[in-house]
Structure 1
């Protein structure tokens, strides 16, 4: 009858993950190909560095699932063998070489680090409604799966494993939007403070740690909120009949050489020669 009782309309929250935000920031076209286009466009085959990273992650997750007395280097080595796959490697010889390296990495990790504590979460899914402006209603839902969440001295610590070519440093840990968002979501999900984030680089044994402040976490939330707004607008406009090529333009650069959707992106094919599946392996 036209009466207005001042009831606030529910606000639709955008669900975002660190991976989705990073993909959209890097290349809106890749975001559309990854998450929106159905059926999923043609992709490349497996990458050796991704296979290697997945094996190491799975082995360490399984190791921490074991009783403390069984978390020994020999068991870590056996877990690498259990989870190993050859996908993406140039040859059986190359795969065998990196399998041996991965065994050495996890064995040294167990020897050099305290693995006797039980993590709060392993591949733990965290999700929380958040806003970049304190005191305002949530504008988005952050969600994702953290490699490991430790509890130390009454606070949570986000641990992310790395197996790439270059060891990380404190700046990289502090600048990582993914780690910051996991810290925020973990604190809300598990109801404990979380400001410390760490990158554990298996090939070198490097642990790059950073301590966030409320201000630095707020800056990461603001950046995420801006990306989420752009992402939501582009997606809504596409669903309303907008031009996907205009709304989700490519951002060609050297990374197009190893993009999963290179076979479905002419702009990426022109930007850089195709990388071999094993080119990004740690030396």
Structure 2
């Protein structure tokens, strides 16, 4: 019986950010797929996303703040049933529920979901761009107006970064705008990042030319990843972010030793 081939890799906003931050971090996550402990922030974000996704599937008159809050506990129970490790970083369930409730309150402060119907929630995208870059990921929400205008929405449950640190968030939104455009032929009119904690948004209006330049940048980035993948040379890049890296003990920059390079998986990279 033959061994199934590893899943081909594809570029996502998170993995692109990993490589730009530190090529070795990319290798550990995308190629070695080293296990990582979940964080409280990640679990909380997943919980809030699940509630908002479910709510947008209801009838308009059902989309109220109290009704959404009532779905926090059932959504949490479903998450834990599917993956028991979700509970590992949570010291106090009630604190988690209160924090999720406040984030959902922030959402309702920013938007009235009873006033429109979204076209897609948690839209899975998996494609190859015209320049050969394989891409993969989930778009939180896509809204299509009666006039045909398209809005791509992403929920953020953490802090809103200062403008000089917003490049990562803007990269993610341009990434999904590009992928949506290449998949559907429709250029999104607006990109909106909703920072639920502070009840504030970041808006972008991408042009065709901007996304074409961005696509070329993705091609250059993918070429660098492919070159490292062929040689097995993913060099560490040190920065202030190293203090939060879960793989610091394996990093040569800190006296560690990475596992043996397993080779490039599949035929294409996440």
Q: TM-score under structure 2 normalisation?
A: 0.77
Q: What do the CA deviations read for 1:54-94 (whole angstroms, capped 9, x no partner)? A: 111111111112222221111211222223364424x32xx
How far residue 149 of structure 1 moved from its aligned partner, in angstroms, is 1.0
The question of 1:77 aligning with 2:69 is answered yes
Q: Report the secondary structure of 2:231's partner residue.
A: helix
How far apart are 1:163 and its partner, in Å?
A: 1.1
Cα distance 1:189–1:17, how it changes in 2: closer, same or farther (>3 A)? same
From 41, 45, 57, the equivalent of 2:49 is: 57
2:73 and 2:128 map into 1 onto residues whose CA distance is 40
How many Å separate the matches in 2 of 1:110 and 1:57?
14
TM-superposed CA distance for 1:35, in Å, is 1.6
Partner Cα distance (1:170, 1:110) in 2: 28
Partner residue, 2:123: 124
Contact 1:197 1:211 in 2 (8 A): yes
Residue number in structure 2 paired with 1:155 = 149
Q: CA deviation at 1:109?
A: 1.8
Contact kept, 8 Å, 2:106 with 2:197, in 1: the verdict is no
* Equivalent residue in structure 2 for 1:255, among 221, 227, 241: 241
What's the Cα RMSD here?
2.8
Aligned partner of 1:41 in structure 2 is 34
**CA offsets 1:120-177 (integer angstroms, 9 cap, x no match):** 211101244334xxxxxx3323332111111133122111110112357699379722
Runs of 4+ deviating beyond 4 Å: 167-171
Instruction: Give the corresponding residue for 1:203.
Output: 197
Q: 1:217 aligns with which of 186, 211, 221?
A: 211
Number of equivalent positions: 238
Q: Distance in 2 between matches of 1:212 and 1:101?
A: 33
Q: Deviation at 1:113?
A: 1.0
Distance 1:169 1:269, change over 3 A: same
Asked if 1:31 corresponds to 2:26, the answer is yes
Q: Which ranges of structure 1 fall in alignment gaps of 5 or more residues?
A: 1-12, 132-137, 239-246, 271-283
| Structure 1 residues 90-101: aligned runs within 5 Å | 91-92=91-92, 95-101=93-99
Residue 184 (1) aligns with residue 178 (2): yes
CA contact (8 A) 2:110 2:200 kept: no
Asked if structure 2 preserves the Cα contact closer than 8 Å seen for 1:170 and 1:209, the reply is no
CA distance in 2 between counterparts of 1:171 and 1:150 reads 27
Larger radius of gyration: 1
Partner in structure 1 of residue 231 of structure 2:
237
Give the alignment's TM-score, normalised by structure 1: 0.74
Unaligned runs of 5+ in 2: 1-7, 77-85, 257-270
Specify whether residues 61 and 206 from structure 1 end up closer, same or farther in structure 2 by C-alpha distance, changes over 3 A only: same
